[in-house]
Amino acid sequence: STPVDREIDAGDALIAPGFVDLDAVFDLDTTMLGFDNQPGWQKGRIWSDDYVQHGPVEAYT
């Protein structure tokens, strides 16, 4: 084996760079929406009467 500067024993943990490619996450969402090109009413993506009557609710509080 070759010498290393420092060895860290992390058990069975997965060590990876500390970043998430958020652009790729958004690209995936828009790509999937592009494939889903049928009318919303055929797929059940319509607002319920309850939602229309009461309006939107803040989900990120």
Residues 42, 49 contacting (CB under 8 angstroms):
no
Can you give the pLDDT at residue 35? Answer: 63
pLDDT(50) > 70: yes
What tokens does 11 get?
């058990």
Question: Which is more confident, 29 or 49?
Answer: 49
Question: Which is more confident, 60 or 38?
Answer: 60
> Which of 41, 17, 43 has the alpha carbon at shortest distance from 32?
43
pLDDT digits (tens, 9 = 90+) for 24-46: 666 656 656 666 666 666 666 67
pLDDT digits (tens, 9 = 90+) for 4-31: 888 888 888 777 766 666 666 666 566 5
What tokens does 47 get?
């607002």
